[in-house]
Amino acid sequence: MSRVRVVTVPHTEYHRWLLSITKVRVEDGEDIRYLPRHLAGDVPPDDWWLMDAERVAYNVVDVTGAPIGIAITTDPKIAAYCEEVRQRLWKLAIPYADYVESEFVDR
């Protein structure tokens, strides 16, 4: 599994927490990369996951930003768009081990 996390710098409390638990996931074989939002260019505003280049799952939140569920689509145009975005962001993203040592992370 691979992930690109586009994050605002300085990090929110949530992203500081995610950074603190990511090492275990990387050690378990996930390839997790980080990309500061200001370096990402155009990024879709939605939080989504692309699965098998065929399904896109969107994180659904309420008006306060609290998560309330997931919406899934198999629309091939949406999946293709998300795959294009993922490929572009992947090339720019910084592997976790390098990111935690970068100037973007407060130590």
Give the pLDDT score at 50.
95
Residue 6 sits at φ, ψ, to 5 deg, of -90, 120
Q: Would you state the pLDDT for residue 32?
A: 98
Residue 65 has a pLDDT of 87
| Coil, helix or strand at residue 92 | helix
| pTM score above 0.75 | yes
The yes-or-no verdict on residue 107 having pLDDT over 80 is no
